[in-house]
Amino acid sequence: MNIIIVLDFGGQYAHLITRRIRDLGVYAEILPFNVNIENLRKVNPRAIILSGGPSSVYEDNSPKLKQEFFTFTLENKIPVLGICYGHHLIMYHQGGKIKSKETKEYGKAILKILDPNLLFDSLLREEVVWMSHGDQITELVEGFTIYAKTDTCPIAAFGNQEKFLYGVQFHPEVSNTPKGNRILENFIYKIAQCKKEWKLEGWIDDSIEKIKKYVGSRNKVILGLSGGVDSSVVAVLLQKAIGDRLHCIFVNNGVLRKNEESEVQETFKSKLKFKNFHYIDAEDLFLERLKDIEDPEEKRRIIGHTFIEVFENKTIKLEQANPDIKYLAQGTIYPDRVETSATSKASAKIKSHHNLTLPDDMMLEIIEPLKDLYKDEVRRIGVKLGVPKEIITRHPFPGPGLAVRIIGPINKDKLNILRDADEILIDEIKKAGIYENLWQAFCVFLPLKTVGIMGDFRTYEYICAIRVVESVDAMTANFSKLNWELLEKISTRIINEVKGINRVVYDISNKPPSTIEYE
């Protein structure tokens, strides 16, 4: 199969480029910019894309390539496309000149195409592109041709067919470059001559075959199921491959949403006919350990450790009854595994408890069928596998659940208030037909009491904050500009129907600088 490698130079774009390439029909993976050439040779890429990045090529510690990289691509006739920082870097290593501009250029620009072949095949002479850069190339070296320019950027794209090197200053991978996909298509199909062969249809059959072979005809598999998209898709995929030899463990950690434990059981046991579905009600244990705990990280730690303990105990019991249990399946997906330089810092904290590493002495081999897929690919596979729509379209829900949506110590009363408010919010958002356009919508319990009035009585109750955000990958998010009537309806219902709340506020903060969750 053709593979395109995206070398990550630290921008926020490496995953986006990779997803675009896959959507266009060629399998793509990310590797760090300093990957060893021998490893690159083993992958045998059909083409390489150098991502953007926040650095400047003249900074001492900025990420660079080695000359052997260019020897390797030239000898093997591997086309290389540099984007933004990658574009500068190719020219830097070839001996061209790059300069820092005094002002950064950020936003839309009109690209004037000087060479309408290859990269810009079937585009107009002028196209809108998205720019985001401080440096730019001021001088090419011999053998390179300027393919396009803008009013402020004289070398906005270049190429050298003999050396298989191409560069673009702008970002073809973002939706603000309307013909970006066409440019990427020209690179992967016209220049790199890739075959269009990455299709999710084939993936399901291949994956089922692989799991069957790997697990064998008698062994059994354990899966920790949360009811979220990833673990649910793994569950259904494994059920198709090994049937009832799959044992799912679903733990009620006491911080789930309203009716979540019964809904997940209903879906898997009744609808999807999972025979070995083990529900563990550990609510009391979790809540006892979380009592009086204020610090958010401590809450996360307690929830993570208690989960491992409960899961491990159940696994030991299951193993005693089923000596053929040899594998542990996990819903790891590609971005969990491949942290780009841009995401690693921010998500290290999230992952530390989300993808819990179970102790080595469990002696189970790990199966991660979704480990090469992006979330939207997992969703599409889920649809094809018949995973119910309510699971596929579900908003992300953090592992530590409602515990990070109640500021300070949690208890059953606060949890129940929050559950009731949250149910109303989701109900109204769904009725308004906007649930699927939103990244997340949820309520937060603020342990502050304010004065209110109900009928003839003065009240003194808690505040509920509503957080509704739009995002593509949770790295950045904007609060949703919901309509006032909808917000009014939600607030009226929450105050009237939920005992314990007499004030509702709407969160109008974006990420960054705020985060999506409150703790």
- Closer to ligand XMP by CB, 188 or 234: give it: 234
For residue 416, the minimal CB distance to ligand XMP (Å) is 21
Among 190, 354, 371, 493, binds ligand XMP (CB under 6 A): 354
For ligand XMP, what does the binding mask look like between residues 431 and 450, x meaning CB under 6 A? ---------x----------
Bond into 296 cis (ω within 30): no
DSSP 395: P
For ligand XMP, what does the binding mask look like between residues 370 and 399, x meaning CB under 6 A? --------------------------x-xx
Angstrom CA distances, 27 to 5, 6, 23, 24, 52, stand at 9, 11, 9, 9, 20
For residue 370, the minimal CB distance to ligand XMP (Å) is 16
Stretch that binds ligand XMP, among 4-12, 65-73, 347-355, 482-490 (CB under 6 A): 347-355
How many CB atoms are closer than 10 A to CB 211?
Answer: 20
For residue 426, the minimal CB distance to ligand XMP (Å) is 15
3-class DSSP assignment, residue 232: helix
Q: Which tokens hold the place of 105?
A: 């250029």
Q: What is the spatial distance between Cα 505 and Cα 484, in angstroms, rounded to a whole number?
A: 12
- Closer to ligand XMP by CB, 49 or 256: give it: 256
List, by residue number, the catalytic residues.
84, 171, 173
Site for ligand XMP in 396-415 (CB under 6 A): 396, 398-400
Stretch that binds ligand XMP, among 5-13, 111-119, 129-137, 346-354 (CB under 6 A): 346-354
For ligand XMP, what does the binding mask look like between residues 453 and 492, x meaning CB under 6 A? ---------------------x------------------
Reported for 505-510, long-range contacts at CB under 8 A and 24+ positions apart, including other chains, are 505/446, 505/463, 505/464, 505/465, 505/466, 506/465, 506/466, 506/468, 506/479, 506/482, 507/444, 507/465, 507/466, 507/467, 507/468, 507/479, 508/479, 509/479, 510/476, 510/477, 510/478, 510/479
Strand-strand pairing, 97-113 and 126-139: antiparallel
Q: What is the spatial distance between Cα 198 and Cα 209, in angstroms, rounded to a whole number?
A: 17
For residue 303, the minimal CB distance to ligand XMP (Å) is 9
Q: What is the spatial distance between Cα 122 and Cα 116, in angstroms, rounded to a whole number?
A: 7
For ligand XMP, what does the binding mask look like between residues 308 and 337, x meaning CB under 6 A? ------------------------------
For residue 295, the minimal CB distance to ligand XMP (Å) is 13
List CB contacts of 201: < 8 A, sequence separation 6 or more. 384
Site for ligand XMP in 250-269 (CB under 6 A): none
Q: Which tokens hold the place of 1?
A: 């199969």
Phi–psi pair at 313, nearest 5 degrees: -60, -40
Q: What is the spatial distance between Cα 461 and Cα 216, in angstroms, rounded to a whole number?
A: 59
For residue 430, the minimal CB distance to ligand XMP (Å) is 19
- Closer to ligand XMP by CB, 190 or 354: give it: 354
465 contacts 479 by C-beta, under 8 angstroms: no
Q: What is the largest CA-CA distance in the chain?
A: 85
List CB contacts of 438: < 8 A, sequence separation 6 or more. 395, 429, 468, 469, 470, 480
- Closer to ligand XMP by CB, 70 or 439: give it: 439
For residue 228, the minimal CB distance to ligand XMP (Å) is 9
Q: Residue by residue, what is the 3-state secondary structure of 85-125? A: HHHHHHHHHHCCEEEEEEEEEEEEEEEEECCCCHHHCCCCC
For residue 329, the minimal CB distance to ligand XMP (Å) is 18
- Closer to ligand XMP by CB, 4 or 474: give it: 474
Q: Contacts with ligand XMP: how many residues (CB under 6 A)? A: 14
Is 515 a binder of ligand XMP (CB under 6 A)? yes
- Closer to ligand XMP by CB, 263 or 517: give it: 517
Q: Of 198, 240, 193, 247, give the one whose Cα is nearest residue 219.
A: 247
For residue 467, the minimal CB distance to ligand XMP (Å) is 10
For ligand XMP, what does the binding mask look like between residues 187 and 216, x meaning CB under 6 A? ------------------------------
Stretch that binds ligand XMP, among 8-16, 285-293, 447-455, 508-516 (CB under 6 A): 508-516
- Closer to ligand XMP by CB, 149 or 379: give it: 379
Among 87, 353, 379, 419, binds ligand XMP (CB under 6 A): 353
DSSP 363: -
C-alpha 519: how far from chain center: 20
- Closer to ligand XMP by CB, 93 or 371: give it: 371
- Closer to ligand XMP by CB, 274 or 479: give it: 479
Stretch that binds ligand XMP, among 95-103, 122-130, 204-212, 510-518 (CB under 6 A): 510-518
For residue 332, the minimal CB distance to ligand XMP (Å) is 13
- Closer to ligand XMP by CB, 258 or 353: give it: 353
DSSP 396: P
155 contacts 87 by C-beta, under 8 angstroms: no
Q: Of 390, 383, 396, give the one whose Cα is nearest residue 203.
A: 383
Site for ligand XMP in 287-306 (CB under 6 A): 300
Q: Which residues bind ligand XMP (CB under 6 A)?
A: 300, 350, 353-354, 396, 398-400, 440, 474, 511, 515-517
